[in-house]
Amino acid sequence: MRYYTAGESHGQGLVAIIEGVPAGLKVSEEQINIDLARRQSGYGRGGRQKIERDTVQVISGIRFGRTMGSPVAMIVKNRDWENWTDRMAPFGEAPLDLVREVTPRPGHADLVGALKTNTDDCRNILERSSARTTAPRVAAAGIAREFLAELGVDIFSYVVSIGSVSMREENPYMNAAQYTPLAIETSEVRCPDAEATEAMKREIDRAIKTKDSLGGTFRVVVRGLLPGVGDYAVPTERLTSTIGGALFSIPAIKGVEFGMGFECARRPGSQVHDPIELDRANAKFTRTSNNAGGLEGGMTTGMPLVVTAAMKPIPTLMQPLQTVNLDTLEVAQASKERSDVCAVPAAAVVAEGEVAFALADAYMRKFGSDNMADIKAAIKAYKQRLNTMSR
């Protein structure tokens, strides 16, 4: 299963096409809209989110709430489009008073994109490099999430740090799977720690006051995974590769750690690798720790998948950094436009979707992709074989 998207930040809307979707999968429009709303939320987001009310419109591939086995096409419309019809018109002449974007923002795609595509207007770049393009990705990921949910796999995320403020956690690779979605979703920064939530909000308030911006870290946790999904033999099918690549495809993501991640490199093997145990009651192999974060050899171990990502601070600053004016080639201040100050909680929701897609694709490679009944039958047979191997 894979998706493609098209669409710009202030165009008419954004489109996603998902192909390789199995037939017979129940899909809830309401659930996709809930995830779209979660992606729009979070303390520190800018004025644009007051304009948009993202909802999905399904164009093809779903009939009476179930997938048909054909590609699914979806649209998320931009409400802001009506304020941009002249500046973003697909055809006709540019308005005479059109303001071109000629002062590229450090940290955004503006300058390099303009050099690459031979334009003197960075708007052509920023319209597509904008993280607005993550809206249709979250909508598309709704299909992957429903697929995994039907197979007993659930995904959530939470914010671990914003700027210099971190929540306190002990052994998150083992314990993160215990957090309740309620504690996370009721926090304005999507952090399960109420005290840390307040400190993070204060950090964001400080950044607003000093005309600065913030990044942070978040974790994605997946429960209910079967062991042996993914691959050790084909480099591109290793889940470390597909999930890592999927997370790095999100704008502003600068680091990804599986389980203990970089800390593994500082410790001896005896303090890193997860001892194997036989859980006789449930006839399955298990681990006494989860420092690997649920992946070994590029495959799921059956322990929760715990992956952490780092997001850099938002590039648009209300006190802009130095840049060069592309018209005059003189020193200038970078563009200063409406912007988020911190979007870590939103990025975490996007990341849930990306992880869901990578996992759904790996499940389909292992168990088939034509229709849900065959996939479930294959999973049942696999579970039975695993049971007999651990008895």
Ligand X SMILES: C=C(O[C@@H]1CC(C(=O)O)=C[C@@H](OP(=O)(O)O)[C@H]1O)C(=O)O
Write out the binding residues for ligand X, residues 287-346 only, by CB under 6 A: 337-340
By three-state DSSP, how is residue 169 classified?
A: coil
Q: Which of 12, 41, 130, 166 binds ligand X (CB under 6 A)?
A: 130
| From 131-139, 208-216, 229-237, 325-333, span contacting ligand X (CB under 6 A) | 131-139
Compute the least distance from the CB of residue 354 to ligand FMN, in Å.
11
Q: Which residues are annotated as a binding site for FMN?
A: 128-130, 297, 312-316, 338
Residue closer to ligand FMN, measured from CB, 17 or 250? 250
Instruction: Please check whether residue 300 is in contact with residue 226, taking contact to mean a CB–CB distance below 8 angstroms.
Output: yes
In the bound complex, what is the minimum distance in angstroms from residue 108's beta carbon to ligand X?
Answer: 6
Which residues does residue 14 pair with via DSSP β-bridges, in sequence order? Answer: 7, 76
* 276: region left, alpha or beta (phi > 0 left; psi from -120 to 50 alpha): beta
169 binds, among ligand X, ligand FMN, none (CB under 5 to 8 A by kind): none
Nearest to ligand X of 240, 339 (CB atom)? 339
The entry of ligand X, ligand FMN, none that residue 189 binds, CB within 5 to 8 Å by partner kind:
none
Least spacing, CB of residue 5 vs ligand FMN, in Å:
14
What does DSSP assign to residue 386? H
The residue type found at 192 is P
Task: Provide, rounded to whole angstroms, the least separation between the CB of residue 246 and ligand X.
Answer: 18
Q: Output 76 or 372, the one with its CB closest to ligand X.
A: 76
- The answer to whether 35 contacts ligand X (rule: CB under 6 A) is no
Would you say 131 or 189 has its CB closer to ligand FMN? 131
- DSSP codes, 232-249: SSSGGG-HHHHHHHHHHT
Catalog residues that contact ligand FMN under the rule CB under 6 A. Answer: 46, 107-109, 129-131, 134, 250-252, 312, 314-316, 339-340, 343, 346-347, 350
How far apart are the C-alpha atoms of 151 and 198, rounded to whole Å?
36
Residue 250 interaction partner, one of ligand X, ligand FMN, none, beta carbon < 5-8 Å per kind: ligand FMN
Reduce the DSSP state of residue 22 to 3 states and report it.
Answer: coil
Beta carbon of residue 314, minimum distance to ligand FMN (angstroms, whole number): 4
Whether 18 and 44 have beta carbons less than 8 Å apart is answered as: no
Angle CA(123)–CA(204)–CA(35) in degrees, nearest 5? 65
Residue number, 103 or 339, with CB nearest to ligand FMN = 339
Nearest distance from C-beta of residue 359 to ligand FMN, angstroms: 20
Q: Which is nearer to ligand FMN, 305 or 350 (CB)?
A: 350
Residue 344 contact among ligand FMN, ligand X, none, beta carbon within 5 to 8 Å by kind: none
For 244, residues 6+ apart whose C-beta sits below 8 A from its C-beta are: 256, 258
Q: Judged by CB, which is closer to ligand X: 108, or 366? A: 108
What is the closest distance, in whole angstroms, from the C-beta atom of residue 263 to ligand FMN in the complex?
A: 24
DSSP string, 173-225: HHHGGG--HHHHHTSTTS-S-HHHHHHHHHHHHHHHHTT----EEEEEEEESP
C-alpha pair distances (Å), 104 with each of 51, 115, 207 = 25, 11, 22
Taking residue 391's Cβ as centre, other Cβ atoms within 10 Å add up to: 9
For residues 206 and 42, what is the distance between their CA atoms, to the nearest angstrom?
A: 16
Q: Which residues bind ligand X (CB under 6 A)?
A: 9, 46, 48, 52, 130-132, 135, 251, 337-340
